Amino acid sequence: MSSKFGDGRWLILVALLFQLATKSEGNWLKNFAKPKPQLRLMEGVTEHLHNVMPYEQVQFSNPNVSTAYISSTKFQAAGMGHLYFVTNKFIQYILSDQAFPEGFVDVEGGNTIQVDYLSQQWPTLVSHYWASASVLVAGLVFAVLMPLIGLTLCCCRCTGGCGSRSQPFDAKYDSCKRQFYGIILAGLTILISFGVVCTFVSNEYLEDGVKELPSNVKKSLNDTRLFINNTKKEVDNLLVVNFDELEETLTNILEASGEIVKKKLGDVSKASVLTNLTAVVNGLDLIKEDLSNVDSLTRQLQQTALQLDIALKESRITIMNKLDSCRYERTCREILKRFNIQELSLEANFSQILDNDIPKLPDVAATLKNISDFITGDIKEEVMKGQQQFEKVKTIIQNAVNDNIPEIKQNIRQVGNAIKANCEKVDKVLNQVDTTIANSYSPMQQGEGLLKEFSPYRYYVCLGVAITLFLILICLTLGLFCGFCGSRPEGGYHDDCCNKGTGASYLMMAVWLMFLSSAFLMIIALFYFVTGVTTDRIICEPLQNPTPSRVLNIVNRLYDVSTIHDSENQQPRTRLPPSNTDFNISSIIRDCHRNMSLFQVLKMERLIDLNKILEYPKSFSIDEHIDKLVSKIKLEGEIVILTSEAKKQLMRLSKSPLSSINFPAYTHVLGEKITSIDLIQLADALNQTASQLPPSKADIKFSLTNQALYLKVHQNQHVAGMLDISQRLESTAIQLQEHLRFNHSSLRHAVEHLLVEVEQAQHFLYTEGPTIVTKLAKEFGQEFNKHIDQYLERIVNQVREDIGKCWPMSQAYNATIVAGCKKILNPYNGFWMSVGVCSILFMPIIILCVKLASLYQKSDPYPGPLVEAEYLYDAYADRENIPLASANHKKKNVRNKPRKKVTTTPCGNRSSNIPTGYENMSNPEITGNSSANESRHPGHGGSVDYSAHLGRANIVVPSTSPSGGLPEAPPKPTWDFPNGGPPHYQNPISSEYERPPPYYYPGPSGPPGAPPESQSS
């Protein structure tokens, strides 16, 4: 199936090639016909304009614009995207509507902003700002109350309350509270850590954005100016350069109108075949030259073959004689067997070249003479008469239209001047925009100087805020680590440095830092909050969404951008009413984001009426003058393109011997060998034979050597020469054959076919020539007007849709928004959000820190419910009043004197062991007993025994006598404890009196004051 389809395609291709060959306009003559010089009237006219139909557009040049735009809208949050997202959502929540309610701000007098909405519709204003105002008031209240609360807490703890002093052992659920509060505080600390990180990073990103802002704005301004410059180039190229190209093309078309109409007339009437016929006649010179070359080469080949044939005959006779004389030698017999020397001659085909009766190659002498007769005759002149007659059509038409060409050129120039006037208007508007942008560099440089001057202060203030939060975070972290991992405080010099008491100190340090810095942090956060939210709603939000923005509506009413349409001599335009949103800053931003053309963005239809441009041909009378030109294009008189004499001579040419030359004979000349025996091989064999002959055969040996040398000379001279002549002869014959075909099977068929076509063209021109010329003239005028209309439509379409596509402006605009709102405002708002959240977390953190500090200061675990009850009871028991005058002295003595533990005697008598404590230091008896005990038990010094306090129900402390002495008192029973006090108890070394902890001893019950022995008994 595929092979059939392929064969069908080949048949179609062959048919198309044959049709193109038969309908060719003479391009096949390019191999031998001399090119005719181009007419001067066609100079400057592009090839596609030589034909009136079909119409093809003029190839206009394109502007050389630069696309080196460098502004970028890329923005990477770099890990802060969630903070920015939460912050923007919070801003939208507290101020979801626009910056101010409808009607709150108004413009009066065209340049005055009036705010009078508060006195009339205050509920609407309250409903609009209630959320943001609540945040502001709450922050102010926080900033005021936090220092007061801190002062109150400080006073409370100075009096011993608010967790400053507590029982030294855990209450029942203190262990759970410690873990629970610690976990919650750890979670809040993690939140604070995120806030601290966000504060540092936001401050750095904000500083980077501020530093990059001037360069980013410069890039946007440079891109804007580049866009304006490119637009000017596009406008100038379209309205000036392209019009000059059109004008040049139209001028060339007018000057070549006769040639265009004549050529189209030849195409329609098939008179263009006359050119092919003329080319055939002109090609007779080439044919004559080819025939002369063939005849000359043939004669050279015959002469060379004759010389070679004679030489071979002489060599053959000599070689045979010498070999016959040495036939008794083996080497002579071998060469005779190897080569048939009797047949040493030319091949039979080449021998026929020398045969006069049956020649191998055709004789072209008669044909050459016949062609010479045609050329010396007047066949060329007769054929050229028809060609010259047809060329007169062009001259007649061109002379008729030359009178109208200057007027048409003048009208085209007037159209160009009108177009250039519109170009100047557009350039004026663009220059105003460019001037406005250029004037913005100076304020931008001033702003850059202010940023460089004051931005470091802002940076270091924010850095101080971040460092303050970081110090608080460090204190909280160290407090939690010591609280979670440290041991209980023991109160001695050998305590760990990172025990729970240290954690309590860190937590309280964090509390005091929070109280001291909370007002400062909240004020900074509120300042950033107010300025950030205001900037977002008044600047960034309107710029990002310009269409429904009330802020931009106010700006639109303050600044009338339609003044760019005013000309220098025009009266100032009346300001449009506020409700007109046809052309303002908002519409410019919106249309630019839609990638509209600058003509649409700037509404320049108010300045230039593009519809009038389409009416220029009629306004400047171009159509009228073209109609006059068309009316003068006529064909008068009969046109004879082939005379009878020319026809006769062409018929003779078709019947000449040129059509009967046997060209395949030349092709097969080299198909066979020139000699019957290879001369080189035979020469080598003769040399070998001569070398093998005995010395007695010296004459034969010398003769054979000479003959071998002759054969090589014949091979290099005659045989090689014949091969070269044969190749040249074959090439010339092929060229002659191609020249004689004229894209047909033969010269006869070509001439007969061309004669038929010329006669048909002659008849067509005679019957329908004038009508066709009139029609072609009308089409010429239409095509001429179409070129002008096409250019004017090109102007309208490109100016309205293509020139100044606003995407570079939109990109520069968005890049500026990214540089200001994304890279600066987002970190700015993220900073106050981070500081504000951290400040709000201060309140629960302070509460937890105070509670945990109190819990971390307890040294002992929960001992049980009875000890706890006894401690609570003992806390309200009566105490001995220590005279203030001797208090300091006693304390100093106690501090300087080593403390001893109370021990028991080996017999177990506890009554003799009286403890030495703070309450018993004033009793000499007890002191003496203590000294005695110390002497007996020296290893138990260094700690005070508080067992008397735990058993004071059984100890009677006698009152002092009036004389100051102590009466004798019976021994008091005491309890024996291994460590001189309750389990895990150590006496804290303090300069002030401290209540020793209670201890519960579950001993045998007995009457109060009875010794243990009596109780046990």
pLDDT per residue as tens digits for the range 998-1011: 555 555 544 444 44
CB 973 within 8 A of CB 954: yes
| Burial of 747 from C-beta contacts in 10 A (0-12 / 13-18 / 19+) | buried
Cα→Cα distances 164→180, 508, 511, 855, Å: 21, 10, 13, 11
Q: Summarize pLDDT for 890-920 with one digit per residue, the tens.
A: 444 444 444 444 344 343 443 334 344 434 4
Last residue of a domain, one of 750, 783, 816: 783
Rounded Cα gap, residues 810 and 804, in angstroms: 12
- What pLDDT does 987 receive? 53
CB 169 within 8 A of CB 862: yes
Same domain, 777 and 889: no
Same domain, 1007 and 890: yes
Top pLDDT among 981 and 132 is at 132
Segment 938-961 mean pLDDT: 40
Please give the share of the chain, as a percent, with pLDDT higher than 70. 61
Please give the share of the chain, as a percent, with pLDDT higher than 90. 14
Highest mean pLDDT (candidates 547-556, 737-746, 838-847)? 838-847
* 161-199 CB burial, b ≥16 within 10 A, e <16: eebbeebbbbeeebeebbeebbeebbebbeebbebbbbb
Highest mean pLDDT (candidates 84-98, 138-152, 566-580)? 138-152
Q: Summarize pLDDT for 197-251 with one digit per residue, the tens.
A: 999 999 999 999 999 999 999 999 999 999 999 999 998 999 899 999 888 888 8
- Tokens representing residue 941 in the block: 């010094």
Rounded Cα gap, residues 839 and 191, in angstroms: 11
Q: Is residue 740 part of a domain?
A: yes
Rounded Cα gap, residues 814 and 905, in angstroms: 95
Domain of residue 772, residue span: 273-399+644-783
- Give the lowest-confidence range in 17-31, 319-333, 789-803: 17-31
Q: Hey, CA dihedral for 128, 129, 135, 138, is it positive or negative?
A: negative
Q: Is residue 835 part of a domain?
A: no
Please report where in the chains the tokens 């680590």 appear, as a residue.
481
Amino acid at 989: I
What H or E segment, with its residue span, contains residue 379?
A: helix 379-401
Segment 343-349 mean pLDDT: 67
Distance of alpha carbon 556 from the chain centroid: 34
- What pLDDT does 638 receive? 67
Q: Is the pLDDT assigned to residue 448 strictly greater than 60?
A: yes
Phi, then psi, of 107 in degrees rounded to 5: -115, 125
Mean per-residue pLDDT of the chain: 72
- Name the band, by pLDDT with cuts 50, 70 and 90, for residue 668: low
Please report where in the chains the tokens 């010296």 appear, as a residue.
698
- What pLDDT does 107 receive? 65
Percent helix, strand, coil in the chain, to 5, is 70, 0, 30
Same domain, 901 and 1016: yes
- Give the lowest-confidence range in 46-50, 185-189, 503-507: 46-50
- Give the lowest-confidence range in 353-357, 411-415, 642-646, 998-1002: 353-357
| Burial of 252 from C-beta contacts in 10 A (0-12 / 13-18 / 19+) | middle
Rounded Cα gap, residues 252 and 45, in angstroms: 6
Phi, then psi, of 781 in degrees rounded to 5: -60, -40
- Tokens representing residue 139 in the block: 């922050």
| Burial of 43 from C-beta contacts in 10 A (0-12 / 13-18 / 19+) | exposed
Top pLDDT among 887 and 188 is at 188
Rounded Cα gap, residues 712 and 436, in angstroms: 96
Segment 722-751 mean pLDDT: 70
- Tokens representing residue 786 in the block: 């179409």
What H or E segment, with its residue span, contains residue 112?
A: strand 112-114
- What pLDDT does 663 receive? 58
Query: Which residues are bridge partners to 346 per DSSP?
Result: 675
Highest mean pLDDT (candidates 193-197, 262-266, 686-690)? 193-197
Rounded Cα gap, residues 1001 and 998, in angstroms: 10
Last residue of a domain, one of 726, 753, 783: 783
Q: Is residue 213 part of a domain?
A: no
Q: Summarize pLDDT for 135-146 with one digit per residue, the tens.
A: 999 999 999 999
Contacts of 44 (CB under 8 A, 6+ apart): 248, 251, 252
- What pLDDT does 828 receive? 94
- What pLDDT does 737 receive? 67
Last residue of a domain, one of 740, 756, 783: 783
- Interhelix angle 826-856/122-158, nearest 10 degrees: 30
Rounded Cα gap, residues 712 and 315, in angstroms: 12
Q: Is residue 1016 part of a domain?
A: yes
- Name the band, by pLDDT with cuts 50, 70 and 90, for residue 591: confident
Rounded Cα gap, residues 862 and 170, in angstroms: 5
- What pLDDT does 341 receive? 80
- Name the band, by pLDDT with cuts 50, 70 and 90, for residue 827: very high
- What pLDDT does 277 receive? 65
Segment 366-380 mean pLDDT: 58
- What pLDDT does 119 receive? 57
Rounded Cα gap, residues 265 and 298, in angstroms: 48
- Name the band, by pLDDT with cuts 50, 70 and 90, for residue 127: confident
- What pLDDT does 655 receive? 66
Rounded Cα gap, residues 505 and 507, in angstroms: 5
- Name the band, by pLDDT with cuts 50, 70 and 90, for residue 280: low
- Tokens representing residue 61 in the block: 């040049």
Same domain, 886 and 1016: yes
Segment 660-673 mean pLDDT: 57
- What pLDDT does 444 receive? 85
- What pLDDT does 101 receive? 64
Rounded Cα gap, residues 298 and 665, in angstroms: 12
- Name the band, by pLDDT with cuts 50, 70 and 90, for residue 295: confident
H helix intervals, 536-643: 541-544, 550-558, 585-593, 598-601, 610-613, 616-619, 622-631
Q: Hey, CA dihedral for 502, 506, 508, 509, is it positive or negative?
A: positive
Q: Is the pLDDT assigned to residue 85 strictly greater than 70?
A: yes
Q: Is the pLDDT assigned to residue 889 strictly greater than 50?
A: no
- What pLDDT does 965 receive? 42
CB 902 within 8 A of CB 920: no
- What pLDDT does 524 receive? 93
Q: Is residue 488 part of a domain?
A: no
Q: Is the pLDDT assigned to residue 92 strictly greater than 50?
A: yes
Q: Is residue 939 part of a domain?
A: yes
Other residues' Cβ atoms within 10 Å of the Cβ of residue 276: 22
Q: Is the pLDDT assigned to residue 859 strictly greater than 80?
A: no
Segment 107-120 mean pLDDT: 59
* 877-909 CB burial, b ≥16 within 10 A, e <16: eeeeeeeeeeeeeebeebeeeebbbbbbeeeee
- What pLDDT does 495 receive? 59
Rounded Cα gap, residues 247 and 723, in angstroms: 63
Query: Which residues are bridge partners to 114 per DSSP?
Result: 106
Highest mean pLDDT (candidates 387-396, 502-511, 737-746, 924-933)? 502-511
- Give the lowest-confidence range in 256-260, 344-348, 422-426, 591-595: 344-348
- Give the lowest-confidence range in 303-307, 522-526, 787-791, 857-861: 857-861
Highest mean pLDDT (candidates 356-370, 528-542, 980-994)? 528-542
- What pLDDT does 269 receive? 57
Rounded Cα gap, residues 5 and 725, in angstroms: 46
Same domain, 890 and 1017: yes
- What pLDDT does 897 receive? 44
How many distinct structural domains can be found in the chain?
Answer: 2
Rounded Cα gap, residues 609 and 611, in angstroms: 5
Segment 87-115 mean pLDDT: 72
Distance of alpha carbon 609 from the chain centroid: 38
Query: Which residues are bridge partners to 169 per DSSP?
Result: 860
Q: Is the pLDDT assigned to residue 11 strictly greater than 50?
A: no
- What pLDDT does 8 receive? 43
Segment 248-269 mean pLDDT: 75
Rounded Cα gap, residues 107 and 99, in angstroms: 16
Q: Is residue 875 part of a domain?
A: no
Q: Is residue 312 part of a domain?
A: yes
Q: Summarize pLDDT for 387-430 with one digit per residue, the tens.
A: 777 777 777 777 777 777 888 888 888 888 888 888 888 888 88
Same domain, 770 and 895: no
H helix intervals, 675-742: 679-692, 698-714, 720-741
| Burial of 442 from C-beta contacts in 10 A (0-12 / 13-18 / 19+) | exposed
